[in-house]
Amino acid sequence: MKRFIPSHNKEKHKMNKAKRKAIIAGNWKMNKTPSETTAFVKELAPVVKDAECEVVICVPFVDLQNAVEAAKGTNIHVGAENLHWKESGAYTGEISAAMLCDLGVEYVVIGHSERRQYFAETDETVNLRTLKALEKGLTPIVCVGETLEERETGKTEEVLKRQITVGLKGVEDLTKLVIAYEPVWAIGTGKTATPAMAQEVHAAIRKILADTFGAEVAEKMQILYGGSMKPENADALLAEKDIDGGLIGGAALKADSFVALIESASKAL
């Protein structure tokens, strides 16, 4: 795989965006075995070693140990896809924050639309998980976003405000977490918001954060786009001033496409 050379032309981004480091985070969902994980990281690491954005892979629980081991000494950060808010106990099938930390995990995805849709995740449980992750020193990637019905009935901002105010209640330092906007109607469907549409919602999220937690905090926060970002649309999406990276699904499962997204994010800095 050809190694990219990151761009250093940052003239058009000498605005507030320049203060926020871009993040490209892969969300593998229920894909890849431990051995496949090791091979993927070994292929990826030498290619992205000069990336100017943060490179994160969020992998299934069974892949975490392999991912952390393979990523040692590289600039690749490893995240989990969920955690439980209790320290320990009779919660069959769940994983605690302490378990993740002991493995060397740094990030964790919380409140993904699939968790909300299939596993009864609520804004309140998102809040509990987020607080526990922060308590243990993990960086939560907190997902928010509206369904197609909510969008078509003009409830996008109402939904986002509820998810943010409830999901982040009690958080003392919001700069220690990341927001990912994922329009539910674009998850796994191949549909993508246009860059202008995505920017409009990202700006609305930043305004909600400013109104709730203060403008200074809002300007520092990284807001990722999580709606089917791929190499074909990444440059245009990442050029928008309030889009600070991507939470990547399908395009994160192949090294070539994931590298292309990392390259786009590095150019956008």
Let me know how many helices (H) and strands (E) the chain has, helices first.
Answer: 11, 8
Average pLDDT over residues 204-224: 96
pLDDT value at 10 more than 60: no
Strand partners, 144: 181
Tell me which H or E stretch contains 192: none
Taking alpha carbons only, the member of 110, 108, 105, 36 closest to residue 76 is: 105
Q: Which of 112, 146, 150, 240 is catalytic?
A: 112
Flag whether pLDDT at 92 surpasses 90. yes
Non-local (6+) Cβ contacts of 207 within 8 A are: 218
Catalytic residue among 121, 182, 240, 263: 182
Q: If you average pLDDT over every residue of the chain, what do you get?
A: 92
Q: What are phi and psi of 203, to 5 degrees?
A: -65, -40
Helix (H, G, I), strand (E, B) or coil at 41: helix
Q: If we measure between CA atoms, which residue out of 247, 241, 238, 240 comes closest to residue 266?
A: 238
Residue range 95-122: mean pLDDT, rounded: 97
Q: Return phi, psi of residue 180, to 5°.
A: -120, 120
pLDDT at 186 over 80: no
Residue 3, pLDDT > 50, answer: no
Predicted confidence at residue 192, as pLDDT, reads: 67
* φ and ψ at residue 23, rounded to 5 degrees: -130, 130
Task: State yes or no: is 182 an active-site residue.
Answer: yes
Contact 226, 181 (CB under 8 A): yes
Q: Cα–Cα–Cα angle for 197, 129, 227, nearest 5°?
A: 20
pLDDT top residue among 3 and 90: 90
Catalytic annotation present for 157: no
In this structure, are residues 210 and 218 in contact, taking their beta carbons and an 8 Å threshold?
yes
